[in-house]
Amino acid sequence: MSLRSGDLTHMPWLMPIITQWDHAILENRLGQALLVLGPAGLGQRLASEWLAQRLLCEKPTQAEGIHWPCGECGSCHLYGVDTHPDIIRVLIAEDKKQIAIDDIRKLMAQMALKANRGGYKVAIIDPADGLNVNSANALLKTLEEPPPQTVLVLCLARLERLPATIASRCQRFLVSTPNREVALRWLNGLSTRPDWSDYLNLSGGAPLLAFEYMQNGAGSLLAEMNNLFQDLSSPKVDLVALAERSAQHFPLERLRWLELWVEQKVKQVLVRSPGIDLRGWYELWDEVKRSVLHVQGTLNVQVVFERVYLKLGQELARERRAG
């Protein structure tokens, strides 16, 4: 099953940003560079696609206080069959780890041309943290002097992964994680499953990411990650073997889950014992954040896990001694 921008009418957590955009368009205050920020798996790309179709639509129709793409005009037809000449998508190629400078140069050249259908030209970059130093610098030139009637949308999960020079030139829109009841209702609307709650735990509450995990067959991953703490507590643990297995099976998903776990751990300890020294946990949190980036890059993934698991094991041992 694939999801398209039209499906977001059933995603209540996306309606605030849709409403903001619609009002901004009507009041002529929509910026030319937009940053769509929120945790992975909430639908930033789907919302951005809706915005693109809304801007390109020739006859938006109003319903429930929002102007929606009509779905019938020439632009909507071209969008529906993925042949609209005035929308540009810059994604990470399947065989690549980053967005190359050539991709951005091509984008700049296309954005500089007049719209084929006489309206807007819209570009979507997803994920914007896929920009490397060179491609980010190239993009900055477009942001400094954007062509008229153009809108550039950057989808991003973490603001710190984007150069400040780019972020400062963007109008920011936030997508928030829905409450658990809303997320489960949406997931059950796709397919009734008894294990949606487990997938939602694995995704940190992000419904689309939970849906993706189900499609990818990552159901056993949650149990494996919960067993990780017992494995690391054993004096006979083989960190190299443990890291090797992790590197071969859903490495990014493991690190994302661990990042959420450490974040929750820090918050819980702060509430329970405000004066406790958490420097080690904060260092681990930073290490996992960096590792999420590294595992998507060119570094040895097994080495990444060895480093993370060593630090996690040390913090767990220090906590046991203190308790």
Please write the tens of the pLDDT for every residue from 105-123. 999 999 999 999 989 999 9
Q: Are residues 241 and 160 in the same domain?
A: no
pLDDT score of 299 more than 80: no
Quick one: 167 and 230 in the same domain? no
The mean of the pLDDT values for the chain is 89
By the 8 A CB rule, do 259 and 266 touch? no
Share of the chain above pLDDT 70, in %: 94
Residues 126 and 188 in one domain: no
- Give me the mean pLDDT over the 225-245 stretch: 89
Kindly state whether residues 282 and 188 are assigned to the same domain: no
Domain encompassing residue 44: 5-174
pLDDT-based confidence at residue 10 (cuts at 50, 70, 90): confident
Are residue 300 and residue 280 in the same domain, yes or no?
Answer: yes
Higher pLDDT, 97 or 298: 97
pLDDT at 36 exceeding the cut of 90: yes
> How many alpha carbons fall within 13 Å on the CB side of residue 207?
28
Sign of CA dihedral 295, 301, 304, 309: positive
Q: What is the pLDDT of residue 58?
A: 95
With 70 as the cut, is the pLDDT of residue 95 above it? no
- Asked if 198 and 90 sit in the same domain, the reply is no
- pLDDT at res. 5: 45
**Number of domain units in the chain:** 3
pLDDT of residue 9: 61
* Average pLDDT estimate for 198-214: 89
Q: Report the pLDDT value the prediction gives residue 3, as an integer from 0 to 100.
A: 41
Task: Report how far apart, in Å, the C-alpha atoms of 128 and of each of 30, 146, 257, 280 are.
Answer: 20, 17, 21, 30
Judge whether residue 221 has pLDDT over 80.
yes
Q: Looking at the predicted structure, is the pLDDT value of residue 25 above 50?
A: yes
- Residue 76 or residue 219, greater confidence: 76
Supply the pLDDT for residue 15. 93
Q: Assess whether 142 and 156 both reside in one domain.
A: yes
**For residue 200, what are its two tokens?**
């939602």
Residues 6 or more apart from 78 whose CB is under 8 A from it?
84, 85
pLDDT cut 90: percent of the chain above it: 56
- Asked if residue 194 and residue 123 are part of one domain, the reply reads no
**Residues 18, 115 share a domain:** yes
Same domain, 160 and 203: no
**Encoded tokens for 55:** 């801007």
Q: Are residues 153 and 226 in the same domain?
A: no
What's the mean pLDDT in 51-62?
95
Question: Is the pLDDT assigned to residue 4 strictly greater than 60?
Answer: no
